[in-house]
Structure 1
Amino acid sequence: MAAIVFDLDGTLIDSAPDIHAALNQVMTEAGGSPFDLATVISFIGGGVPLLVERALQAQGRPMAEHATLTARMLQVYGAASAVRTRLYPGLPETLETLRAAGHALGICTNKPEAPARDILDAFDLTRFFPVIIGGDTLAVKKPDPAPLEAAYAALPAGPRIYVGDSETDAETARRAGVPFLLFTEGYRKSPVEALPHRARFDDYAGFPALLAGAA
């Protein structure tokens, strides 16, 4: 059976609406302007510090604000991280199928571990994932392969698969030397063809069959 590790934002959950609301609250509190949803989606992919950095750069604000606004973003988002967030269709049923088949499942995300666990708890998904590596679990984040390798090290041995939606995920898998399955309905910024991947999918209903051919 395979050791399958998933990204979180844009892969298992559509969290952009809550990230959008939290970032706009933080920026307007600091005297900035709100962003539209598409712009915030373009900021997602490297964790909260990079999200805030991109927001400051977009509005020409000084990086001296970065630490304060990052801390505030973590506070605001942590208090309401699952209000507008939704699971991608078919996900719980697919996770049940994978677990019943004996696959070992884990999470490797750049979202800080505490809010990642909070969201998984809110949707009753924690039970599927005995291993959850967040963006602050180690000293480094994706695309450094160390977080992904730590997730595999904590799972039972088996063929390794990484599932994600973004350029960061594709590069992480490449550096770790594992097959990458690309979920095309997430937050990537490049064309599908630009991301190296073993296979791609847009619907979790077909994921078990796809996995059989990709492992």
Structure 2
Amino acid sequence: MTRAVIFDLDGTLIDSAPDIHAAANRLMAAHGFAGFAPEETRAFIGHGVPHFIACCLRARGAEATGDLHRQLVGEFEAGYETAVTLTKPYPGVVEALDRLAAQGIALGICTNKPVAPARAVLAHLGLEAHFPVVIGGDSCPQRKPDPLPLQTAVAGLGARRVLYVGDSEVDAETSVRAKLPFALFSEGYRKTPLADIPHHTAFSDFAALPGIAAALLT
């Protein structure tokens, strides 16, 4: 029986908020809009690029749909694959991935980040070999919290027992809708209190994750 742990990416395995913030401010400045503080763009992360850009435009009093939105989405995505220089894995991530693999647990990614930038940042950080399956926000007709992307990752790994690991309300809802156990990383980009997010367990230190996976995947 194949066991697997599937991860969200931004705010879960990696702290990419600084790169996303810098890319958003460059884009907004190019179109004559004021930039954002880091905490503002961090609050926009989680639902994919179109939602992120809509939040940026809405916050500056601009129309969040239509031609300008489509143009900015395209420009942001064009530069997204190289927006990696400020991104780092959270402490303990690499060691946790190695321990999970040593336990015979398959690993995958299910993120709302477009798949090409997701693969690019994994490659930049030397993490790509851990993940034979990477499902991005443009890999399926729907994005999370629709369960289809997570179900697609499960099918790609051929897994029977699966734990999903994420940091946000979107990830929690995705797990609920996919009927999979959810481990919540408490140090990511969530916007609401921990107690208000459905989860089977929560952790703040990746050193705890291999033990959590072993317990939940028995």
TM-score of the alignment, normalized to the shorter chain, above 0.5? yes
Give, in angstroms, the shift of residue 100 of structure 1: 1.0
2:16–2:88 contact (8 Å) kept in structure 1: yes
Give, in angstroms, the shift of residue 214 of structure 1: 2.6
2:133–2:157 contact (8 Å) kept in structure 1: yes
2:9–2:110 contact (8 Å) kept in structure 1: yes
TM-score normalised by structure 1 residue count: 0.97
Inter-partner Cα distance in structure 1 for 2:160 and 2:105: 9
2:5–2:213 contact (8 Å) kept in structure 1: no
Worse-superposed segment, 103-112 or 155-164: 155-164
Query: Would you say 1:144 and 2:146 are equivalent positions?
Result: yes
Report the equivalent of 1:2.
3
Aligned to 1:102, the other structure's residue is in SS state coil
1:71 to 71, 74, 77: 74
Give, in angstroms, the shift of residue 137 of structure 1: 0.7
Give, in angstroms, the shift of residue 151 of structure 1: 0.3
* Total equivalences in the alignment: 214
Report the equivalent of 1:18.
19
Aligned to 1:5, the other structure's residue is in SS state strand
Percent identity between the two aligned chains: 49
Give, in angstroms, the shift of residue 211 of structure 1: 1.9
Give, in angstroms, the shift of residue 160 of structure 1: 1.2
Question: Any unmatched runs of 5+ in structure 1?
Answer: none
Give, in angstroms, the shift of residue 20 of structure 1: 0.1
After superposition, the C-alpha distances for 1:32-71 in whole angstroms (9 at most, x for unaligned) are: 0000000001000101110000111111112331000111
Task: Flag as ranges the 4+ runs of structure 1 deviating above 6 A.
Answer: none
Inter-partner Cα distance in structure 2 for 1:213 and 1:3: 13
Aligned to 2:47, the other structure's residue is in SS state coil
Question: Any unmatched runs of 5+ in structure 2?
Answer: none
1:22–1:73 contact (8 Å) kept in structure 2: yes
Give, in angstroms, the shift of residue 210 of structure 1: 1.9
TM-score normalised by structure 2 residue count: 0.96
Give, in angstroms, the shift of residue 75 of structure 1: 1.7
2:81–2:121 contact (8 Å) kept in structure 1: no
